[in-house]
Amino acid sequence: MTAVGAKILVVEDDAAIRRLLARTFDRAGYGVVEAGDGRAALAALAIDKPDLVLLDLGLPDRDGLELVPLLARAPGPTVIVVTARDATDDKIAALDLGADDYVTKPFDTEELLARVRSSLRRGARASAERVVIAFGDATIDLVERRVSRAGDEVRLTPREYALLAELARHPKRVLTHAHLLRAVWGPAHLDDVEYLRVTMRGLRRKLEPDPAAPTVLRNEPGVGYRLEATEYFEVT
């Protein structure tokens, strides 16, 4: 889904911020729906079927974190949290509950527009039959389960491949430690963060130009990791 035809639901109790966001995205060519509380947001979700939701957490009738899984569950919209809460715990909770991104106030509107475009592109690519993702001088083909760097095949351990593939399925999105441990090692290993760190070190040695200063397998301190993908190739 591109900007043309995409519909954005702005969930924000502060009327001035809500109007600012609505004007910003309307000028950028998006359809905009507004909601001032959780109840109105859920009604708009059912009636207007937005492609993306900008969600404030400080709503008058309920905590916005309660809304994240209700809004984001498939085949629901992408959710970007836009809030004054800057605590790491809130960020981890929102991402684990299904938010695609987390932006703290005050925010730059141009940066927020860029994040929205990126999230919508990720949503569109998720429905592609086959995607090859490039990052740095490497690529991963998620269908063929093949990783290459500078044209040469890279041999990964099963855990390394599983970790890279999970990050590649959500390019440029921060995935929390708990998310990655659950996806790669299973729910019994949610506290085994050292497993994740060791496997990430192995990936960086094989894929980063300088493993000591990673540029594609990035760390979000205290939260998780993200893959800085650069290109996406849809293969039919």
Examine residue 1 and state whether it is found in any structural domain, yes or no.
no
Q: Map residue 86 onto helix, strand or coil.
A: coil
Query: Strands 52-55 and 7-11, how do they pair?
Result: parallel
CATH of the domain at 41: 3.40.50.2300
Helix axes 193-207 and 158-168, enclosed angle (nearest 10): 90
Q: Long-range contact list for 212-216, CB < 8 A, 24+ apart?
A: 215/136, 216/135, 216/136, 216/138
Residue 126 has a pLDDT of: 53
Measured distance CA(176)–CA(201) in Å, rounded: 17
Only one residue has tokens 């690519």, namely: 125
Q: Within a domain: residue 2?
A: no
| Co-location of 60 and 136 in the same domain | no
- pLDDT tens for each residue of the chain, 236 residues long: 444 458 899 999 999 999 999 999 988 888 899 999 999 999 999 888 898 999 999 999 999 999 998 998 757 788 999 999 989 999 999 998 889 899 999 999 999 998 898 888 776 655 444 578 889 899 998 878 889 998 899 999 989 999 999 898 888 889 999 999 988 988 888 899 999 999 999 999 999 999 999 999 999 999 999 999 876 655 54
How far, in Å, are 24, 80, 122 from residue 95 at the CA level? 25, 9, 16
- Token readout for 162 is 């599983």
Q: Classify residue 209: in a domain, yes or no.
A: yes
List alpha helices for 4-80, DSSP H. 15-27, 38-48, 64-72
Clarify whether residues 11 and 103 are in a common domain: yes
Helix (H, G, I), strand (E, B) or coil at 115: helix
Residue where one domain finishes, among candidates 78, 98, 126 = 126
What's the rounded Cα separation, in Å, for the pair 114 and 102? 13
Between the CA atoms of 40, 27, 122 and 39, what dihedral angle is there, to the nearest 10 degrees? 0
Q: Is the domain of 152 the same as that of 173?
A: yes
Same structural domain, 80 and 119: yes
Counted domains in the chain: 2
Minimal CA–CA distance to 80: which of 67, 89, 233, 88? 67
Give pLDDT, residue 124. Answer: 60
CATH assignment of the domain containing 176: 1.10.10.10
In the numeric block, which tokens belong to residue 43? 């009604």
Whether the CB-CB separation of 9 and 49 falls below 8 Å is answered with no
Do residue 97 and residue 151 come from a single domain? Answer: no
Kindly state whether residues 113 and 15 are assigned to the same domain. yes
Which of 126, 145, 175 is the last residue in one of the domains? 126
- Give the domain-ending residue among 97, 126, 155: 126
What pLDDT score does 5 carry?
58
What per-residue confidence (pLDDT) applies to 194? 95
- Give the CA angle between residues 157, 162, 164 to the nearest 5°: 95
Nearest to 71, CA basis, from 32, 37, 105, 97: 97
Q: Can you give the pTM of this predicted structure?
A: 0.69
Both 21 and 74 in one domain: the answer is: yes
Q: Which domain holds residue 213?
A: 131-234
User: Do 81 and 102 have their domain in common?
Assistant: yes
Angle at 234 between CA 232 and CA 236, to 5 degrees: 165
Give the contacts of 140 (CB within 8 A, at least 6 positions apart): 132, 133, 146, 147, 164, 165, 168
